[in-house]
Chain A
């Protein structure tokens, strides 16, 4: 999920929340625990179309409605769910065999065509799908894109050359092959992402065109089916789909209650109107352990928070300057005091959530040493004024101000935090090469591979390389790693690439995230995974 994390929570409309709270689905005493209804708090999803869902609210709901080809165990090893097998001999041509017996919620059988059609739709440029970039590796992707000749001007972009990916081929009803433009050993894991869910024939208005109201009541192949439609800004209800051939859910249904503010979710949890809060807001962290007792829980996730140096800003062009700034930041103090221990200091460029993570791969540069930092900063002639630009809607002001205060004290510089209203405003300023100073960024992995923390973020032209870092040696190592025949070999090469980052410091790693969640007494076995989603097949009602 691209850098927009954490989720935007708009302010207002408490009336709607009260309305939602009034319709609490607590489940009556007559039904057994297996048929009980539980409720989970989310924000309003942007979309419920798999290929256009790159934020965690929509992904949370879709995970109940759809069953992925592969999922991940506790060690992030992919295992097949809807797929019988995913095989490749050369990491370039992948054969996907589907399990027999899966049906969509309208009774339709799930077949190879459902995947191929959905993926072609995802990749086709004019559809404007947020998850389109996941298809970049598939052969023929470029032919499905077209460039607008005059940017935002009046001329319309020409139609792309092709409408379907040449890399997708149907073998039989339950088998298809995916040909990549370059070998990638991690492709099996990539296919676990939301974008790769299948779509039923009933979803299409005509060939390649989705029905406009499909996302109001998505028909999926998952353990739950939608009950009614998506009630915007209020709730989304799902109920158990009895014909689901896979692992059965342990509850009868889930109500996803939609909130504008995280603090309101927490208040509802306290008031008994909500069962699960997946992210307890910072404001409540000091009191939450006492409020919730053993229902206050933490688990690791894949969030990585950092600040980047746009390469067009010459004052940060010296690596010594970037390193000195990094060494002048006391990460531990910020995670303890601002985040109340809900995040941990980052000392590497990848999250421990993926194989290949090494503690302290950033080395001295991420170790707090104010004296050395000051000496190095002065010697390298660092700028007298430092600026950190952040998006003001994500709750970043507190830690940016704290970081600035540390830099002021430790480096003797002037430091200001500048809050842009939205992340997109920040990106616009970076594109216009304005003096934004350091920029705040965050990353949740898309698929559990070390490569996901390298290629998209630092590769030349990477999808989220907003600062413009480019190093051919790095690009080469990531590419070689992706093409390596085994995961171990791949990791070795990726680790070498990470070492280059530690040397060049294009960004300063700051913090690693953690899920800090809580639940009511009505539910048990609540787990939140590394993608910040509730494990929907594990949650149970207590009575």
Chain B
């Protein structure tokens, strides 16, 4: 007991002498997050990605800020008309405003990416943490479970699952896609969580908390999670981008969003056969999709670099 106490005491920052900054004032203790933020602030990729992400999120939340045109107002008489003052991206096959449809299409993409990632995050968090914290046979079972799900080809399983879940042709397929992506993509997060928990639970502060009588719940969520969360959040950010792109892929293949939903995947798939006639209805949703996916992945990458001390 006394042994542990003395170790804990020795670790208290500043006990042996408070570090003094050049101007003489006491410097705040540096945390990992603080270091990472310092690093991120100087990274232009982070800022570019962040601006794009904010832009897309605002677009998804308030599409009417960007366009006054109605994406559902279509007239065949305007079919494949080129860009003009009223429609800067021109009109598509059905004579709908390509710009308006592209702006309104952001909402489905972002929401599906977000919800699917939340589902994946919750499953990954629970499974990863349980496996890492309890170890033993629980870990063995859960880790093999992760391996099994990881072994399923995501796209193939998604096609089967999304089609099963959304058999009713009147359904837009939104929740089917969310659920499909959520239950198929949580494995990476769970693995990361598991390994961070394993390394964190052997830290002395955890042992200390345990000695002080903290139960498993308190230990996991108050002591281990905050210190193991950073890499997990990074993986989820990247996953969000990947999910948006997978949603578009499923929709393009005809098993994702359908019917009258407005989505980049639908617009890309309907414009594709007419690309020899006019390319703009295909090109613009593709660019927006690519930029959004890229933004989330770059954001995740930048944060990961900042949190990983080895890359500093």
Contact = CB atoms under 8 A, between A and B. Distances in A.
Looking at chain B's contact residues, the main secondary structure is: loop
B94 A401 contact: yes
Contacts of A408: 72
B74 A405 contact: yes
Interface string A65-95: 0000000000000000000000000000000
Interface string B54-75: 0000000000000000001111
B76 A406 contact: yes
Contacts of A337: 76-77, 79, 95
Contacts of A287: 276-277
Contacts of A417: 259-260
Contacts of B276: 286-287
Nearest to A406: B76
Given A398-B93, A409-B75, A416 B259 contact: yes
Given A334-B76, A406-B76, A416 B169 contact: no
Looking at chain A's contact residues, the main secondary structure is: helix
B34 interface: no
B90 to A, nearest CB: 15
A418 B76 contact: no
B170 interface: yes
Given A283-B274, A287-B276, A402-B94, A419 B169 contact: yes
B77 A392 contact: no
B83 interface: no
Nearest to A336: B76
B76 A402 contact: yes
B74 A286 contact: no
Interface in B66-120: 72-77, 79, 93-95
B258 interface: yes
Given A287-B276, A337-B79, A405-B75, A420 B169 contact: yes
A33 interface: no
Nearest to B168: A418
Interface in A392-418: 392, 398, 401-402, 405-406, 408-409, 416-418
A407 to B, nearest CB: 12
Contacts of B93: 398
B273 interface: yes
Contacts of A405: 74-76, 94-95
A86 to B, nearest CB: 47
A148 B72 CA distance: 48
A436 to B, nearest CB: 10
B273 A418 contact: no
Contacts of B259: 416-419
A421 interface: yes
Interface string A296-340: 000000000000000000000000000000000010011001100
Contacts of B76: 330, 333-334, 337-338, 402, 405-406
A419 B73 CA distance: 21
A330 B77 CA distance: 10
A283 B76 CA distance: 16
A19 to B, nearest CB: 24
Contacts of A330: 76
Nearest to A281: B273
Contacts of A409: 73, 75
B171 to A, nearest CB: 10
Contacts of A416: 170, 259-260
A423 to B, nearest CB: 13
Interface string A276-288: 0000000100110
B169 A392 contact: yes
A421 B75 contact: no
Contacts of A418: 169-170, 259
Interface in B111-139: none
Contacts of B258: 419
A283 B273 contact: yes
Interface in B247-266: 258-260
Interface string B274-291: 101100000000000000
Nearest to B277: A286
28 contacts: A263-B273, A283-B274, A286-B276, A286-B277, A287-B276, A287-B277, A330-B76, A334-B76, A337-B76, A338-B76, A398-B93, A398-B94, A398-B270, A401-B74, A401-B94, A402-B76, A405-B75, A405-B94, A405-B95, A408-B72, A409-B73, A409-B75, A416-B260, A417-B259, A418-B169, A418-B170, A419-B259, A421-B169
Given A337-B76, A420-B169, 6 more contacts: A263-B273, A392-B169, A402-B94, A418-B169, A418-B259, A419-B169
Q: Give 5 nearest A-B pairs by CB, closest first.
A: A283-B273, A405-B74, A337-B76, A337-B79, A333-B76
